[in-house]
Structure 1
């Protein structure tokens, strides 16, 4: 009887050793199992292959981005600059960086040729959003001329915004 107990104890100890050793030898990679999140599982159950809807009826009450932006610049200042300086031939435009580069042109009724580089650097409609560099064939233009061009562009931008708000 004593030998039977001893054999049973050794058998149980061997079974425990074998069972504890299974986890060491069975999974050598150590890679975690990737499972979808609970939200993904619920979405698949609820919506199937269609996926979660992109919008709801309540989206009409959420705040929308400013419609006055074109890329990262204000569309009113951008369009006003193009309209105000339409007598200058446009060489390069980039609405995402806000740069308009023109060639030499003579204003209507004027005798001096100008070239302009306009930089719209902010989506807001104010004076700090606009930088104008005006050149003549002899060098930089007068500061008063540059100021008058900036004022004309900003005035036209405000007019364009007023027209949009009335619609």
Structure 2
């Protein structure tokens, strides 16, 4: 009887679909996923991380028909360009739902210093504000000029990928 009551209580709490203030949740175990369009040129003014309309879901939606295809809140060109530019670093973890890529230490081609990177793609827009790169070496943090050069390389590769996509 106790086990049934505890399971029913856990299920009732998990099925809650919104916060107390009525704002939609951004993720979570049973929460909604923000749907974004990677072809959006710019985010909505004044709102960082704008990704289009919110879709609500709950635990019970898993048992019903799938009515919407949910995508991730990152720009696919920046995501692919990041993995392409930093391909010399071993990937430790990737989370497309939050837009975080964490790598281990690796040496760039022709370089002797080992680096590791943490990249956060925050927005579906193909924009410099969508990308946040943090580089570390075994000796500590890396100069801002090096970080800026890596960000520029990622954004340039993302633009190349988008141009290639339009030619198809």
The answer, yes or no, to whether TM exceeds 0.5 is yes
CA drift of 1:118 comes to 0.2
Measure how far apart 1:66 and its partner are.
2.9
Normalization by structure 2: what TM-score?
Answer: 0.59
Q: Deviations over 1:35-77 (max 9, x none)?
A: xxxxxxxxxxxxxxxxxxxxxxxxxxxxxx7354850000000
Could you list the runs of 5+ residues in structure 2 that have no partner in the other structure?
1-35, 41-70
Gaps in structure 1 of 5+ consecutive residues? 1-64
**Aligned counterparts of 1:67 and 1:94: Cα–Cα separation in 2:** 17
**Matched length:** 103
Secondary structure of the corresponding residue to residue 124 of structure 1: coil
SS at match of 1:73: coil
Give the distance between the partners of 1:74 and 1:90, measured in 2 at CA. Answer: 19
Take 2:106 and 2:39, find their aligned partners in 1: how far apart are those partners? 29
Residues 38 and 125 of structure 2 are in contact (CA less than 8 Å); yes or no, is this contact kept in structure 1? no
Q: Is the 8 A contact 1:90 1:102 kept in 2?
A: yes
Which structure carries more helix by proportion? 1
| 1:135 paired to 2:144 | no
**Map of 1:97 onto structure 2:** 98
Which secondary structure state, in structure 1, belongs to the residue aligned with residue 165 of structure 2? helix
- Greater CA drift, 110-119 or 70-79: 70-79
Give 4+ residue runs of structure 1 displaced > 4 Å after superposition. 67-70
- Taking CA–CA contacts closer than 8 Å with sequence separation of 6 or more, which of the two structures ends up with the larger relative contact order? 2
